[in-house]
Chain A
């Protein structure tokens, strides 16, 4: 279940940003991925809400600027990731 959520998040990032899933890691952020512009970010927010069945707050949708931050915000929503 925990591993599933991590895989799901990586797949969502990979699909929305158009980068290989294997390259998604702790250093994946708006600063390191060229394709991650503000419009892709909007698509990412929508895709994450859709895939995880939750609604991010305004503040959170601005915070999720990297893979670790995304994980942290999803954990606030009760999504389980392996420690």
Chain B
């Protein structure tokens, strides 16, 4: 059973586990009297609009949010007052100012015709009922979109566990199960059209855990609370995956142990021929786990090895063993030695240029699991239960640490890119100076307005970039589109390629204009391309666009410090901006028009301009 580990908050030490419902209830109670100033966690404001009793779920949402590193603040709308909250621009909901909205809808309340009264409803009216639910959802989600930028998490509808027609129900596409399947497909299509709405798949969750376990008729009849005790943690942690994905807490790198993790047995003792890995139990369990790890690799998760072993033994298995699904090239970094794992994880972080808080460690050793939890509490550790080999695959996937709300072409190529970075390092050591090396790379930077295809990647970069990020403002796809469409703002995307590879869309700048002043709302760069001067090329483009193309008098940029972005503290100063006063802990810099030629960016970069006709002028 996986569990969540809490960070330290207020006087509570890091490392507390959330396993049982009472653990979540305890955390929720502790938080009740505390403010974000006291917990030292940034707030996450969640509004829950519902037509059923969600209160038992709130402690689980609270615990999940704390585990993600935020201080939960809730607004729970009145029972079945969803319209009143959503449609009135002056409602308490909008006064609350949510970061995320949970729209929790239970079909039995929304549409008796599709649930309890399915058979008493004339077939001709079933389609009306389906359209009625769709219209309701569209009305609510549309009003929420119009009034607030917060993304909306909308659940779809579980299939009936005991349909009115029994076994006959499954024999016709007009019956209840098929009707609800169709409704769910249409609600998804409506959500895609609305944008800013994500589907929380109750249908899948209830199938995974079983409707009989997920719905408790007692609480439904007593308190209009349909979710059974056994469903609260699965449902609450499903929402937790969305909170993490929306707030840039998606893990980036899976670090795996080798012995009794990638294969059964110990290669140093059993030898490559003696380890358990192959088509029959228990070796088949490790093949299945490796396939799941390979799937993560294809999703863009970076893989690394951290193992106490002789490197030659592990490499022999990686290169020679016929049943290895994972090969040497799938791993972007490896530390195979006898040093402690905290040291080795830090080395992997330095090599890959990502923070250890982006790591998930998969390990079977209780000692290593505890040691890393103590030494690097920000690393998510998945402990493989001893000898329960058949469970390993789902132990890895169930927590959803790598779940994100987008899947881009860049994700598919990511680990390959890290391999290409190793080639660049080889080129670097063959060059006498950095400038010579950069010139040899033949870097091309293309800056332009993001196309519709680019928008998910732009939003993803704002959500995931921590280090080279001047303001760390997280935006949804809808936000990006509205910045791009508005007259008073522009979004620019930077694409980079060089002679070794095409890194794709790796940088974003968002500008807003008001009264002759251009403000750099966001400026960020993926850590994969840091140190090649493309950031200077993007900034000089942005400055020229603001002062020359747009004719602004000045351009200002802020540095908002976080735990991660110290590397960009001096970015504006280094690029010829003058410091202004410090306000609210943000330092601001400006550059005025007429101060001579604006810089052209580094000489070793060939700058191309993509179509700029959509940029505001």
> Which residues of A sit under 8 angstroms from B20, Cβ to Cβ?
47, 50-51
Contact among B22, B53, B55, B225 with A12 in the assembled complex (CB-CB below 8 Å): B22
- Do B222 and A58 touch across chains, with their CB atoms under 8 A apart? yes
Identify the closest chain A residue to B232 (Cβ). Answer: A46
Within 8 Å of chain A (Cβ to Cβ): is B29? yes
Within 8 Å of chain B (Cβ to Cβ): is A7? no
Within 8 Å of chain B (Cβ to Cβ): is A32? no
- Do A43 and B218 touch across chains, with their CB atoms under 8 A apart? no
- Do B219 and A43 touch across chains, with their CB atoms under 8 A apart? no
Contact among B26, B30, B53, B229 with A46 in the assembled complex (CB-CB below 8 Å): B229
Within 8 Å of chain B (Cβ to Cβ): is A15? yes
- Do B218 and A47 touch across chains, with their CB atoms under 8 A apart? no
Contact among B32, B56, B222 with A43 in the assembled complex (CB-CB below 8 Å): B56
Q: How far is the CA of A43 from the CA of B23 in the complex (A)?
A: 12
Identify the closest chain A residue to B31 (Cβ). Answer: A18
A interface, how many residues as a size bin? Answer: 10 to 19
Contact among A11, A18, A58 with B29 in the assembled complex (CB-CB below 8 Å): A18
> Which residues of B sit under 8 angstroms from A16, Cβ to Cβ?
22, 25-26, 29
- Do A50 and B229 touch across chains, with their CB atoms under 8 A apart? yes
> Which residues of B sit under 8 angstroms from A38, Cβ to Cβ?
223
- Do B225 and A42 touch across chains, with their CB atoms under 8 A apart? yes
Interface of chain A residues 35 through 71 with chain B (CB within 8 A): 38-39, 42-43, 46-47, 49-51, 58, 61
Q: How far is the CA of A38 from the CA of B26 in the complex (A)?
A: 17
> Which residues of B sit under 8 angstroms from A11, Cβ to Cβ?
22
- Do A15 and B22 touch across chains, with their CB atoms under 8 A apart? yes
Looking at chain B's contact residues, is the secondary structure mostly helix, strand, loop, or mixed? helix
B interface, how many residues as a size bin? Answer: 20 to 34
Kindly provide the distance from the CB of A40 to the nearest chain B CB, expressed in whole angstroms: 9
Q: How far is the CA of A34 from the CA of B21 in the complex (A)?
A: 22
- Do A42 and B55 touch across chains, with their CB atoms under 8 A apart? yes
Q: How far is the CA of A38 from the CA of B223 in the complex (A)?
A: 9
Identify the closest chain B residue to A49 (Cβ). Answer: B229
Q: How far is the CA of A53 from the CA of B319 in the complex (A)?
A: 48
Contact flags B544-577 to A (C-beta < 8 A → 1, else 0): 0000000000000000000000000000000000
- Do B219 and A47 touch across chains, with their CB atoms under 8 A apart? no
Q: How far is the CA of A39 from the CA of B56 in the complex (A)?
A: 7
> Which residues of A sit under 8 angstroms from B222, Cβ to Cβ?
58, 61
- Do B223 and A43 touch across chains, with their CB atoms under 8 A apart? no
Within 8 Å of chain A (Cβ to Cβ): is B59? yes
Given contacts A18-B29, A18-B32, contact A42 B223 (CB under 8 A): yes
- Do B56 and A46 touch across chains, with their CB atoms under 8 A apart? yes
Kindly provide the distance from the CB of A21 to the nearest chain B CB, expressed in whole angstroms: 11
Contact flags B194-226 to A (C-beta < 8 A → 1, else 0): 000000000000000000000000110011010
- Do A43 and B59 touch across chains, with their CB atoms under 8 A apart? yes
- Do B55 and A15 touch across chains, with their CB atoms under 8 A apart? no
Given contacts A39-B55, A51-B22, contact A15 B29 (CB under 8 A): yes
> Which residues of B sit under 8 angstroms from A49, Cβ to Cβ?
229
Interface of chain B residues 18 through 74 with chain A (CB within 8 A): 20-23, 25-26, 29-30, 32, 53, 55-56, 59
Identify the closest chain A residue to B229 (Cβ). Answer: A46
Q: How far is the CA of A43 from the CA of B22 in the complex (A)?
A: 9
Q: How far is the CA of A39 from the CA of B22 in the complex (A)?
A: 14
Among A12, A16, A61: residue with most chain B CB under 10 A: A16
Interface of chain A residues 10 through 31 with chain B (CB within 8 A): 11-12, 15-18
Can you list 15 A-B pairs with a CB-CB distance of less than 8 A? A11-B22, A12-B22, A15-B29, A16-B22, A18-B29, A18-B30, A39-B223, A42-B219, A42-B223, A42-B225, A46-B229, A49-B229, A50-B20, A50-B22, A58-B218
Query: Residues of A at under 8 Å CB distance from B?
Result: 11-12, 15-18, 38-39, 42-43, 46-47, 49-51, 58, 61
Other CB < 8 Å A-B pairs besides A42-B219, A46-B56, A47-B25, 17 of them? A15-B22, A15-B23, A16-B25, A17-B29, A18-B29, A18-B30, A42-B53, A42-B55, A43-B56, A43-B59, A46-B21, A46-B229, A46-B232, A51-B20, A51-B21, A58-B218, A61-B222
- Give the 5 A-B residue pairs with the shortest CB-CB distance, closest first: A18-B29, A15-B26, A46-B229, A47-B22, A50-B21
